[in-house]
Amino acid sequence: MKDAQPRAIYLKDYQQPDYWIETTALSFELGEESTLVTSTLNFKLNDTKTHAQLPELTLVGENMELVSVAIDGAVLSGDQYKVDSEQLVLQPQSEAFETYIVTRIKPQENTSLEGLYKSGGMFCTQCEAEGFRKITYYLDRPDVMSIFTTTVIGDKDKYPVLLSNGNAIERKDLDDGRHMVTWNDPFKKPAYLFALVGGNLEFIEDTFTTMSGREVTLRIFVEPHNITKCDHAMRSLKKSMKWDEEVYGREYDLDIFMIVAVDDFNMGAMENKGLNIFNSTCVLARPDNATDAAHERIDAIVAHEYFHNWSGNRVTCRDWFQLSLKEGFTVFRDAEYTADMYSRTVKRIQDVNFLRSAQFVEDAGPMAHPIRPESFIEISNFYTLTVYEKGAEVVRMIHSIVGSEGFRKGSDLYFDRHDGQAVTTEDFVAAMEDANGVDLSQFKRWYSQAGTPVLDVSDSYDEDAQEYSLTIKQSCPATPGQDTKLPFHIPVAIGLLDGEGEPMPLNGEGETTVVLDLKEPEQTFTFKADERPLPSLLRGFSAPVKVNYDYSREDLIFLMSHDEDGFNRWDSCQRLAINVLMELVADIQAGRELAVDPQLLAAYGKVLADESLDLAMIAEMLLLPSETLLAEQMDVIDVDAIHQAREFVRGAIAEAHKERLQQIYNSLNVDKPYQAEPEDIAERRLKNIALSYLVELDDAASVELAQAQFAAASNMTDSIAALSNLIGAVHESGKAVAEQALAEFAEKWADDTNVMNMWFSTQVTDSRFGTLAKVRELMEHPGFDKKNPNKMRSLVSGYCSGNLVNFHNISGESYEFLADEVIRIDALNPQLASRLINPLTRWKRYDEKRRELMLAALKRIQQQDLSKDLFEVVSKSLA
Ligand code: ARG
Ligand code: ZN
């Protein structure tokens, strides 16, 4: 352990800074040994605070050598400032003054991927949340907004491209083989939005004409070998610029917008002003080397980062507790963009599936926190599914409470009122209230209370009065630091179906879906109804909650084919599958003989035959709930029984519907030019899901199908699906074919690092193929890099989170393996370590033996000299 335990920082302690920074002028001399950073800052006293005398100025800075410091032109001697490993303290002599600070940093040695670092041959930065302090001494906090001018100097051959935020205002060659470029960003911004790139890069270029007629240059910069993989991202960028004008009235504000792809990156991407930096997996795509899922992800992330230009950059966060202000809102914006570009229902299904299988888990675990946390030790640990995805659900609920026109009025007011400011989630909600004349005071509990609320729904029908009543009780489990919760304001969208499956009118206007405002711990809602209806609850997943209602299997099957709400048709299918699967889990645990309820098989038969359903919907309905989602249904998770039950049902579905699955497969297996368009994506998805069922059969013909698809595939979606279906095939002939295909694939794609990442993860997520021994073997593969986050995620997280049976093998070996990797990585890259450890933090949910083993692994980690990041996660999991 470190000598001093890391301390928590509290929202309630927020205070404005004593000084503001009006202008920031930086110069970087990029070098092979070290980089010299010169900063000229103009400070002004914050006169809204009372000061008895001029307060000290404390600038934060880490991992740097202070070369010199001057104030207003006078160089300071060692006794005129204090410096330690975290800060530089100066005593100003006037209310307005200029500092001149020279520091030396070593980007080449920076493995944390925070601050300025090297990825391959290129210099790049990641400053959010607190990375700027690894570049120079500064007021590294989002409420300090400044105008930046940045000069980058570097060797002209090695770093022909030198980029920073804003517009390039000067370029010059120097005598010594170096050149320099100066950039100016006319918009005030916090340091976390600063970016710099220097490297040997090529770019593709396009233009976008904004709604007011300004022409913006768009460039995507990549290493030369990736130049053929940028077109899809460029199309996405133009689509999102247009969408933000149409839906939010937001126009881009600089003359140029740049995206740079880097291979070493902790997260997905970063919205630096005018110079977004992306993890290469989130930009690069060509039909032959990226899947449909990758194409969709790229589209969504390009849009997300672009949308931040308004929701995040023009209006930013006052402090990091407000992170969901920009992230929840921006995720909501990108989800709506995707819904408009592809299928609204399918997007909703995928988002809710993700929320339930991952965010609900987080909300029930040791790191549970409200979307606006009250305290943190390390802010990097709060870039969570809760802040992002649940945060987006909270914004979506506001959208459904005020309606889409009201929401647009609210967002207009918000952007207008706060342009150029650093604000809070309160300000966002206030704009929505003021623009719509609504009271969201109770609703705001969503920002301060953690945990997933539970709705217990019961109903009754009064034959004489012809009245149907729904009684909804809400509750929310305790979370760390919050034993009891106050009732939430929950918008519950519902509909009622009559005996024929027709929607019943619910009010005078004849509406068949209404949103109930649930505000009390228990509330009853009554409707006129001339027969007893079947309720369709939480349509469109109108709130991030769990709903209990005692549906019979017949009810669910009825809803699957009649509910006018597409999301709920899918959800009824999920409920039915969960119901059947959990019964089988109980049978397995009790040693009973297994049989799949014929009703479930018949229901799937109906889905497969339903001509009215679109292909994307059929595909979503055919996917059984994931093992992770099933695990959430159990108090003590039994990974083996879950896996066995799920495999058993998959086999039974394949057996029962073999012919239809083959028919679907054959009808969709047509060779046509690749397009990442919704219909084509749906066709490939359904085809490959059909194949994944067919390989469940002990049947050489299925292996041949997969083999033929692998040989013929002209796009990555079909190629990787064939590969993973060969790996997963039940028939013994699959093994040799899979080995052969894996070898061919690796040879073909050896030089494409992102394709190789899929090759790694596909192998280790299969329960028979992907053993711990396989993981260890692959870590030694020449295409692997033990420091690279993408590679570590594909192999280590792929295995530990995607292969539950093997990871939780009772030997405990995999727990030890993960602990070793976490400890090794923590010394290099704390952010990565504190994410990798995640599967171990859920130890309380397992049986006694596994609990002990996981706990032992956690405690061994705790014994080490830990980063703040890992310290926080480990200590909270052990609390
Ligand atoms: N703001 C980025 C986004 O678009 C995420 C960057 C966070 N980076 C980090 N190291 N915590 O969501
Ligand atoms: Zn974001």
155-171 pLDDT per residue, tens: 999 999 999 999 999 99
Decide: 832 in ligand 1 pocket, CB within 6 A.
Answer: no
The predicted-structure confidence for 480-506, as pLDDT tens digits, reads as follows 999 999 999 999 999 999 999 999 999
Rounded distance from Cα 120 to ligand 1 centre (Å): 21
Reduced to 3 states (helix: H, G, I; strand: E, B; else coil), residue 610 is coil
| Smallest-distance ligand from the CA of 330 | 2
Decide: 130 in ligand 1 pocket, CB within 6 A.
Answer: no
Identical fold at 9-200 and 454-558? yes
Rounded distance from Cα 166 to ligand 2 centre (Å): 20
Nearest to 153 by CA among 267, 57, 37: 37
Rounded distance from Cα 676 to ligand 1 centre (Å): 26
Atom 2 of ligand 1, residue of closest alpha carbon: 270
Rounded distance from Cα 268 to ligand 1 centre (Å): 7
Rounded distance from Cα 165 to ligand 1 centre (Å): 17
The predicted-structure confidence for 362-384, as pLDDT tens digits, reads as follows 999 999 999 999 999 999 999 99
Rounded distance from Cα 875 to ligand 2 centre (Å): 27
In a mutational test of the pocket of ligand 1, which residue from 130, 194, 270 has the highest number of ligand atoms less than 8 Å from its CB? 270
Decide: 277 in ligand 1 pocket, CB within 6 A.
Answer: no
Decide: 223 in ligand 1 pocket, CB within 6 A.
Answer: no
In a mutational test of the pocket of ligand 1, which residue from 113, 264, 267, 304 has the highest number of ligand atoms less than 8 Å from its CB? 267
Q: Using CA atoms, how far apart are residues 191 and 311, in angstroms rounded to an integer?
A: 16
CATH code for residues 454-558 = 2.60.40.1840
Q: Which residues surround ligand 2, an ion (CB under 5 A)?
A: 327, 330
Supply 587's token pair. Answer: 């049978």
Q: What are phi and psi of 383, to 5 degrees?
A: -85, 70
CA 788 to chain centroid: 19
Rounded distance from Cα 303 to ligand 2 centre (Å): 10
Decide: 565 in ligand 1 pocket, CB within 6 A.
Answer: no
> CA end-to-end span of the chain, whole Å?
17
| Smallest-distance ligand from the CA of 326 | 2
Residues 6+ apart with CB under 8 A from 506: 494, 495, 496, 512, 513, 514, 527
Decide: 270 in ligand 1 pocket, CB within 6 A.
Answer: yes
User: 549 and 526 in contact (C-beta within 8 Å)?
Assistant: no
Q: For ligand 1, what atom is nearest to the CA of residue 379?
A: 11
CA 721 to chain centroid: 23
Decide: 20 in ligand 1 pocket, CB within 6 A.
Answer: no
Strands of 46-136 (E only): list them. Answer: 57-60, 65-71, 74-75, 81-83, 87-90, 96-105, 115-119, 122-126
Within the chain, what is the greatest distance between any pair of CA atoms?
Answer: 96
Atom 7 of ligand 1, residue of closest alpha carbon: 128
SS3 breakdown of the chain: % helix, strand, coil, rounded to 5?
45, 20, 35
One-character DSSP codes across 409-450: HHHHHHHHHHTT-EE-HHHHHHHHHHHHT---TTTTHHHH--
500 HSE (CA, 13 A, CB side): 4
pLDDT (average), residues 626-655: 98
Handedness of CA 823, 825, 827, 830 (dihedral sign): negative
User: Strands of 122-126's sheet, edge to edge?
Assistant: 115-119, 122-126, 196-199, 161-164
C-alpha separations of 408 from 310, 327, 568, 830 in Å:
14, 18, 27, 40
Statement: residue 1 has pLDDT above 70: no
Q: For ligand 1, what atom is nearest to the CA of residue 266?
A: 10
Supply 226's token pair. Answer: 């990736």
Statement: residue 3 has pLDDT above 70: no
| Smallest-distance ligand from the CA of 383 | 1
Residues 6+ apart with CB under 8 A from 344: none
Rounded distance from Cα 308 to ligand 2 centre (Å): 7
Catalytic residue numbers read 305
Atom 6 of ligand 1, residue of closest alpha carbon: 270
One-character DSSP codes across 241-298: HHHHHHHH-----SSEEEEEEES--SSSEE--TTEEEEEGGGT---TTTS-HHHHHHH
Average pLDDT over the chain reads 98
Q: Using CA atoms, how far apart are residues 868 and 611, in angstroms rounded to an integer?
A: 55
Rounded distance from Cα 231 to ligand 1 centre (Å): 24
Using a pLDDT cut of 90, give the percent of the chain over it: 99
CATH code for residues 9-200 = 2.60.40.1730
Crossing angle of the two packed helices 425-436 and 323-341, in degrees rounded to 10: 60
Rounded distance from Cα 42 to ligand 1 centre (Å): 28
User: 229 and 263 in contact (C-beta within 8 Å)?
Assistant: no
Query: How many beta carbons lie within 10 A of that of residue 157, not counting itself?
Result: 10
Nearest to 380 by CA among 7, 143, 114, 129: 129
Which DSSP symbol is given to 172? E
User: 806 and 846 in contact (C-beta within 8 Å)?
Assistant: no
601 HSE (CA, 13 A, CB side): 16
Decide: 135 in ligand 1 pocket, CB within 6 A.
Answer: no
In a mutational test of the pocket of ligand 1, which residue from 383, 388, 834 has the highest number of ligand atoms less than 8 Å from its CB? 383
Statement: residue 2 has pLDDT above 50: no
C-alpha separations of 760 from 229, 562, 755 in Å:
21, 42, 9
pLDDT (average), residues 230-252: 98
Residues 6+ apart with CB under 8 A from 782: none
Statement: residue 143 has pLDDT above 60: yes
Decide: 334 in ligand 1 pocket, CB within 6 A.
Answer: no
Using a pLDDT cut of 70, give the percent of the chain over it: 100
Q: Using CA atoms, how far apart are residues 305 and 241, in angstroms rounded to an integer?
A: 11
| Smallest-distance ligand from the CA of 830 | 1
Decide: 164 in ligand 1 pocket, CB within 6 A.
Answer: no
The predicted-structure confidence for 573-594, as pLDDT tens digits, reads as follows 999 999 999 999 999 999 999 9
pLDDT (0 to 100) of residue 5:
85
Which DSSP symbol is given to 479? B
pLDDT (0 to 100) of residue 120:
93
pLDDT (0 to 100) of residue 536:
99
Burial code (b: 16+ CB inside 10 Å, e: under 16) for 237-254 equals: bbbbbebbbeebebebbb
pLDDT band at 526 (very low <50, low <70, confident <90, very high): very high
| Smallest-distance ligand from the CA of 131 | 1
Nearest to 264 by CA among 461, 137, 115, 129: 115
Statement: residue 856 has pLDDT above 70: yes
Burial code (b: 16+ CB inside 10 Å, e: under 16) for 158-172 equals: bbebbbbbbeeeeee
Q: For ligand 1, what atom is nearest to the CA of residue 327?
A: 12
Confidence (pTM): 0.98
Q: Using CA atoms, how far apart are residues 103 and 81, in angstroms rounded to an integer?
A: 15
3-class secondary structure per residue, 769-838: CCCHHHHHHHHCCCCCCCCCHHHHHHHHHHHHHHCHHHHCCCCCHHHHHHHHHHHHHHCCCHHHHHHHCH
Bridge-based pairing of strands 96-105 and 490-497 is unpaired
Q: Using CA atoms, how far apart are residues 307 and 250, in angstroms rounded to an integer?
A: 9
pLDDT (average), residues 147-154: 99
Examine residue 129 and say whether the peptide bond preceding it is cis (omega within 30 degrees of 0). yes
Decide: 193 in ligand 1 pocket, CB within 6 A.
Answer: no
Q: For ligand 1, what atom is nearest to the CA of residue 304?
A: 4
Atom 11 of ligand 1, residue of closest alpha carbon: 380
Supply 411's token pair. Answer: 């967002």
Decide: 185 in ligand 1 pocket, CB within 6 A.
Answer: no
Reduced to 3 states (helix: H, G, I; strand: E, B; else coil), residue 210 is coil
pLDDT (average), residues 600-619: 95
Atom 8 of ligand 1, residue of closest alpha carbon: 128
Q: For ligand 1, what atom is nearest to the CA of residue 831?
A: 10
Decide: 128 in ligand 1 pocket, CB within 6 A.
Answer: yes
Domain boundaries, the chain: 9-200, 454-558
Rounded distance from Cα 268 to ligand 2 centre (Å): 9
Decide: 380 in ligand 1 pocket, CB within 6 A.
Answer: yes
pLDDT (0 to 100) of residue 612:
87
Q: What are phi and psi of 677, to 5 degrees?
A: -105, 150
| Smallest-distance ligand from the CA of 320 | 1
pLDDT (0 to 100) of residue 611:
86
**Burial environment of residue 83 by CB neighbours within 10 A (0 to 12, 13 to 18, 19 or more):** middle
